[in-house]
Structure 1
Amino acid sequence: MRGCVLVGWWERKAEEERARWVLDPLVGVGPLRFGMSPDEVRDVLAEHPSPVQSTEGRVCWQGYRNGTGVTAIYGPDERLAAVAVDANTGPLVRLRGVELIARVPSEVRADVYELAGREGVPVGVNWSGDPEVAAWGVSMGADQEWGTSPDGYLERRDAMLTGALLVGPELAEDPYGTEPVLDWRDVRKREANSGSWPVTSDQDRSRWDWTPLERVGPLRFGMSPREVAAALGGETPAARRGWCYRSMRHYGARQWILSEDQFDRAGVTAHYWEQQGFPTLAAVTVNGRTGPQLEFEGLPLVGRPVSEVDAALTRYVESHDGTLLIGCDGDLGPDGSGMSVRATRAGDTVVSGARFHAEDWDDHG
């Protein structure tokens, strides 16, 4: 195996190894209080954080993920504005008898709605489809569970575990829409979820074949966005994402560069890179819940339990004396295939999706 380093905090901590904190809504959580300085946070956690993440010389956020399992997020005044609690390694946070962290998402959702109903406070839905309660400064989330294989390797599990973003009063109305949180995790380009995760049955999926580093189904790497849409039956993208480029020749002039098109009916996302000033197809991500089925050496890649697909790929590579590449998100793919297996949330569980790319395309997640 080779690829990105799998850092230790991905592995789920045992319950007895995790701190137990109480949430004081809009005031603080555990030993942390909103308004603390970075030095005060470091001292109270008695742990050195990861390197400072800064913007224009000010501290934006610091991770305490190898020990405590939290990320401290600071406002423009370098005062603690939010605390992100990791699902796999963070402290077990309780709010008036409700355990918020490292649980089944649907069970926590039910408990949150019940408590909110008793207290007469409204519950919203955030970008990930999880409950968000402004009166408590709570925005729930979920991460894939990680564990250790019998051989001692980190491995992906098929369950989702709850984490949370806990914020002070200034951020409570829209936690993920505020600058301090956007500095830590900008979700504006991510697909928003309404709180439901329908999964297409295997018999109802279309069947595609693929040629490594050349094409996926009807899509051939190097196609223009117009050719991609035509190959998908003329489907109009449900979402288009890109970035702004500032020309050095014409200072101040900006050009919008297309980076991806999302096709909901086909269940795929087309990723582009710029060649000779024009976007061309460089990669295709197949949605694990709704995308077409593809196979690798007879192994179905899409809509399956991720742990099963990972295990099958590992056995294949070992039996063929090959190399298994590991992406920064834990995605696995045989070296030279231009394919990696991705994990797609399906409510309380995850199912497998896949990404296929052209040669020399650099995958950043």
Structure 2
Amino acid sequence: MAWWSRKPEDERARWELDPLVGVGPLRFGMSPEQVQAALDGAIAYVSQGTEDRLAWQTFHEVEVTAIYGPGPRLAAVALDGRSGPLVRLRGVELIDRAPSEVRADLLELAGREGASVRVNRSGDPEAAAWGLSMGARPGWALSPEGYAERTDRMVTDALCAGPELAEDPYGTEPVRQWCKVREERGAHSGEWPVRAEGDRPRWGCTPLEGVGPLRFGMNPREVAAALGGEPPAERRGWFTWEGYGAEQWELEQDRFDEAGVTAHYWYRDGFPTLAAVTVDGRTGPRVEFEGIPLIGRPVTEVDAAVNRYVEDSGIGLRVGCAGDLGPDGTNIFVRADRAGDAVISGARFCAEDWEDHG
């Protein structure tokens, strides 16, 4: 979803989840043509796929993503929490609420129905009996002046899966391909501890060159070595089709949980090299820019400080694809990271030619 297009509640569709059968007008097993017809002819943005190998489609008019299995046939539906349909399950409102409230309601419903609820890869409730896997993302609101601005709260979204994916939606193709997850170690605890400021190392940053011990242009082995040899907790990437059915997997990012950073790569001369570093708001090192603490603060507080800085300096403000703010000429962006129901600030530091896509 575009961060600036949050819909008022009275303009959002209201759907019901029919577990393992469908959600709203969509039914698992539909063809792409049937999905489009069920969505009243909404125009699809094809995120990935070819004519005979469609992976998923995002419909921005209704803010849902249709994820396809073989056929292609509808296998899962991702629902945007900020502007997508408001979905209910047995009277439980699933979308655009505080994650802890939805979790409590689902556990109560599971108790009544004898359903098993576990914690998924994002730390949210997941139930195979319902084909439901909850998630959350930072919330937005309209300012008194009428423009979109970030808030300090998370809101729920959801992935609804058909029977083939219900047992492990995020661990099964095609959802893994949609998420670009290649390797993942360990499971989320469902807790959101925030590392104390005194327990975080202090890193310096040089805009357009690097942050802490990481320098743009490093290869993945050099990145891991600079972080003390820590192995990535998760690797993400994508497949490129080389022709004749051959596929090449290309590394996009490595997440390092102990260091609290994610390394993002681009391909120059056919090899991945470091192009951006995201510092996690909950666990990452302390980093300042021009006296502004960027990490682990209420995101609205840091946004306000960045706005004051650019106004005072006259250098201009850049807004990233996800609505992240940053001083012009630095390619530094303030991120919105999750801490349970709350949002705290992280930051992304990018090489000069890196285009941030959220």
TM-score bracket relative to the smaller structure:
0.7 to 0.9
Q: 2:92 aligns with which of 78, 91, 98?
A: 98
Q: TM-score, normalised by structure 2?
A: 0.85
In structure 2, what is the Cα distance between the partners aligned to 1:254 and 1:164?
Answer: 30
Q: Is the 8 A contact 1:200 1:289 kept in 2?
A: yes
In the other structure, the counterpart of 2:292 is 299
Within 5 Å, which residues of 2 pair with 1:239-254? 239=233, 241=235
In structure 1, what is the Cα distance between the partners aligned to 2:328 and 2:335?
Answer: 15
Q: 1:203 to 1:189 in 2, by over 3 A?
A: same
2:15 aligned with 1:18, yes or no?
A: no
- Residues 3-31 of structure 1, C-alpha deviation per residue, up to 9 Å, x if partnerless? xxx836x5433322222222221122223
In the other structure, the counterpart of 1:285 is 278
Query: 1:44 corresponds to which letter in structure 2?
Result: A
- Residues 243-263 of structure 1, C-alpha deviation per residue, up to 9 Å, x if partnerless? 6999x9xx9999987665544
Query: 1:195 corresponds to which letter in structure 2?
Result: G
Q: 2:334 aligns with which of 317, 336, 341?
A: 341
Q: 2:302 aligns with which of 299, 304, 309?
A: 309
In the other structure, the counterpart of 1:33 is 27
In the other structure, the counterpart of 1:3 is none
In structure 1, what is the Cα distance between the partners aligned to 2:202 and 2:357?
Answer: 27
SS at match of 2:300: helix
Q: CA deviation at 1:162?
A: 0.9
In structure 1, what is the Cα distance between the partners aligned to 2:194 and 2:258?
Answer: 13
SS at match of 1:179: coil
In the other structure, the counterpart of 1:324 is 317
Within 5 Å, which residues of 2 pair with 1:1-365? 7=2, 10-53=4-47, 54-66=49-61, 68-188=62-182, 193-223=188-218, 228-229=223-224, 231-232=226-227, 234-239=228-233, 241=235, 260-273=253-266, 280-365=273-358
Q: 1:207 to 1:30 in 2, by over 3 A?
A: same
Query: 1:359 corresponds to which letter in structure 2?
Result: E
- Identical aligned pairs, as a percentage? 66
Q: 1:70 to 1:359 in 2, by over 3 A?
A: closer
In structure 2, what is the Cα distance between the partners aligned to 1:359 and 1:161?
Answer: 33
Q: 1:16 to 1:227 in 2, by over 3 A?
A: closer
Q: Is the 8 A contact 2:181 2:236 kept in 1?
A: no
SS at match of 1:341: strand
Query: 1:360 corresponds to which letter in structure 2?
Result: D
In structure 1, what is the Cα distance between the partners aligned to 2:178 and 2:254?
Answer: 25
Q: Is the 8 A contact 2:195 2:283 kept in 1?
A: yes
Query: 1:57 corresponds to which letter in structure 2?
Result: D
Q: Is the 8 A contact 1:22 1:94 kept in 2?
A: yes
Which shows bigger deviation, 266-275 or 194-203?
266-275
- Residues 214-256 of structure 1, C-alpha deviation per residue, up to 9 Å, x if partnerless? 3423334445556555554x3423437376999x9xx999998
- RMSD value over aligned CA atoms? 3.2
In structure 1, what is the Cα distance between the partners aligned to 2:26 and 2:261?
Answer: 42
- The total of aligned residue pairs comes to 355
Runs of 5+ unmatched residues, structure 2: none
Q: Is the 8 A contact 2:154 2:341 kept in 1?
A: yes
In structure 1, what is the Cα distance between the partners aligned to 2:302 and 2:34?
Answer: 45
